[in-house]
Amino acid sequence: MFVGDSLNRNQWESMVCLVQSVVPSARKSLSKTGSLSIFTIQDYNATVEFYWAPFLVESNSDDPNMHSILNRIIMPESIDKHGNNWKNVDYLIFNTYIWWMNTFSMKILRGSFDEGATEYDEIDRPTAYKRVLATWSQWVDKNIDPNRTQVFFMSMSPLHIKSLDWENSDGIKCAKETSPILNTSMPLNVGTDKRLFVIAANVTRSINVPVYFLNITTLSEYRKDAHTSVHTIRQGKMLMPEQQADPATYADCIHWCLPGLPDTWNEFLYSRIISRS
């Protein structure tokens, strides 16, 4: 089960694509119920699942179909409502990053959504991220039997929004890029919040249940060419030709094409899974 934001969904889609082609069409199915998407492979009694929880903890962005909340508010100490859906699986793969990135501070609800609370405090992003991962790590320690479940945490998936970051003054976001950044001596800064990387790396080391931190950030930073760009889906539909002609507005330089980079992330995951036994 993959748990997290749309980048983890991107990786789940990659995993489904990687395994589905060997399964005859009558022996597999895809279903979606609320926050949970399930790919089922009947003959192996196996499922590959994705659970939408972009902040892992409870937030006002938890509706899996309503994705345009700009005023994002979280409850950093509240995780059980989601966590109850993550139990008794064989492999749990977490992430949380992109939803943190559109403001420098994070809004913390005073009280709970269930009680109709609307007031909030604002705290800086790394402090809020640390609180959320502390809640998450306590949940893992309390609820995961490491003999039953293997736990992974994906590091942040980078964006390629500013072509000057790789010194292309003619670029439009990632839209015109057809090759990776090949010059590895060029200092690479595409705006990834490395503070969150350090926090996640640290938390996944200090937790009791073994959690494997999958470091995909740097290698993905080189892949300015690998985003969906204007070949993306918006509100369930491919972009219209006039939208494709306006990459400055419409190019998606967050998500990744498939086949593509997330397949490599899954190869890391797979090699970790098979090397344990």
Q: Using CB under 6 A as the criterion, which residues of the chain lie in contact with ligand NAG when the complex forms?
A: 45, 145, 147, 183, 185-186, 199, 201-202, 206, 215, 218-219
Chain centroid, CA 140 distance in Å:
18
Q: In the bound complex, what is the minimum distance in angstroms from residue 180's beta carbon to ligand NAG?
A: 13
192 or 232, CB closer to ligand NAG? 192
Write the burial class of residue 226 (CB in 10 Å: 0-12 exposed, 13-18 middle, 19+ buried): buried
Give the whole-angstrom CA distance, residue 180 versus residue 166: 10
23 or 201, CB closer to ligand NAG? 201
101 or 219, CB closer to ligand NAG? 219
Q: In the bound complex, what is the minimum distance in angstroms from residue 214's beta carbon to ligand NAG?
A: 10
Q: In the bound complex, what is the minimum distance in angstroms from residue 232's beta carbon to ligand NAG?
A: 26
Q: In the bound complex, what is the minimum distance in angstroms from residue 82's beta carbon to ligand NAG?
A: 21
Tell me the three state secondary structure of residue 125.
helix
Count CA within 13 A, CB hemisphere, residue 177: 30
78 or 155, CB closer to ligand NAG? 155
Q: In the bound complex, what is the minimum distance in angstroms from residue 184's beta carbon to ligand NAG?
A: 8
Angle between helical axes of 125-143 and 194-206 (0-180°, round to 10):
20
**Which residues belong to the active site?**
6, 252, 255
1 or 239, CB closer to ligand NAG? 1
Q: In the bound complex, what is the minimum distance in angstroms from residue 202's beta carbon to ligand NAG?
A: 4
Query: What string of DSSP letters covers 198-257?
Result: HHHHHHHHHSSS-EEEE--HHHHHT-TT-EEETS-EETTEEPPHHHHT-HHHH-EEEEE-
Between the alpha carbon of residue 211 and those of residues 77, 137, 195, 201, 218, the distances in Å are: 20, 10, 19, 10, 20
Query: In the chain, helix, strand, coil percent, each to 5?
Result: 35, 20, 45
CA triple 217-183-10, angle to 5 deg: 30
45 or 169, CB closer to ligand NAG? 45
Give the whole-angstrom CA distance, residue 44 versus residue 273: 17
DSSP state letter for 99: G
